[in-house]
Structure 1
Amino acid sequence: MDRTHRTDRSEWIEQYADAWREKDPEALRTLFAHDAVYHSSPTARPLRGHEEITTYWKQATHTQSELDLVLGVPLSQGNRTVVEWWATLRDPQRRPGTDDDRVTLPGCLVLRFDDAGRCDELWEYVTPVSGEKIDAPPGWGV
């Protein structure tokens, strides 16, 4: 489906969230252009293409459990979309050697889409809080 003029990316964002909840790198792969660039951090080397993106995704999600993911209302203009997300989960990989594996991940995705509706560039900004579960504040994400 050609989404060149579509500015509501809610369906794409829900599919991204579902792929995270299901830890499904193949579902994630279908959301990205073949040569997409995924910036998991503004300071890290970008991931390029399906193979690097899905390898990162498998490594990042395989130890996660009890994921509670809430999405904000996406804001779009042209081929760009921004959406906040708030996740709480358990992940022993985040703090190896500690007894408390709770993690709170408030974050934001800045997305650019190609004419086919696939993401061709993603920037992820996240502020992790380890060792506690913090719920999203009232009014967050709207």
Structure 2
Amino acid sequence: MWDRETAAAAANEWIGRYVRAWQTNDPDDIRSLFTPDAEYRDGPSTTPWIGHDGILAGWLGQKDDPGTWSFEYELTAVDGDIAIIRGRTSYPSSTTKSRQYDNLMVIRLADDGRASSFTDWFVTPDTTGTEG
């Protein structure tokens, strides 16, 4: 069981490595984030990418090119081996118009600091200023 300080440090270190892997799309950077049997969901209801091969195929199959996005984040909560990261992803150089996503990432960390599961809950923020 992780104490709060250790869990927070591990989560912050993990998300930093995640952003680096996102920037490089390097298979070794991606693989180093996850346990061999990890599950990665790119949405809360999607079929998971399982294991290193599945995660690499899914990630690289929809990779973002370096310099086409920005990501701001904060560690919102940790509880044992679960970390919650709140983020905002922006794609300012989109060919049609700027795209943004609010992210809530749920990460289960293994004892070695790699993720055994990852789920990205994301929404497109309402930019109209109206309530529905």
TM-score tier after normalising by the smaller chain length: 0.7 to 0.9
CA contact 2:23–2:65 (8 Å) conserved in 1: no
Q: Deviations over 1:107-131 (max 9, x none)?
A: 11101111111100111101136xx
Instruction: Please give the alpha-carbon distance, in whole angstroms, between the structure 2 residues aligned to 1:12 and 1:63.
Output: 21
What is the match of residue 78 of structure 2?
76
* Between structures 1 and 2, the one with greater helix share: 2
Matched, 1:7 2:3: no
- Overall identity of the aligned pairs, in %: 21
What is the match of residue 17 of structure 1?
19
Listed as ranges, the matches of 1:55-70 within 5 Å are 55-63=57-65, 65-70=67-72
What is the match of residue 137 of structure 1?
none
SS in 1 for 2:45: coil
Aligned length: 122
- Kindly tell me: are residues 62 and 86 of structure 1, through their superposed partners in 2, closer, same or farther at Cα, counting changes over 3 Å? closer
Matched, 1:29 2:37: no
TM-score, normalised with respect to structure 1: 0.74
* 1:34 Cα deviation after fit: 0.2
What is the match of residue 113 of structure 2?
117
Which contiguous aligned blocks of 4+ residues in structure 1 show a shift greater than 4 angstroms?
62-65
Instruction: Please give the alpha-carbon distance, in whole angstroms, between the structure 2 residues aligned to 1:91 and 1:47.
Output: 28
* Range with bigger deviation, 65-74 or 11-20: 65-74
Q: CA RMSD for the aligned pairs? A: 2.3
- Which runs of 5 or more residues in structure 1 are unaligned? 93-98, 135-142
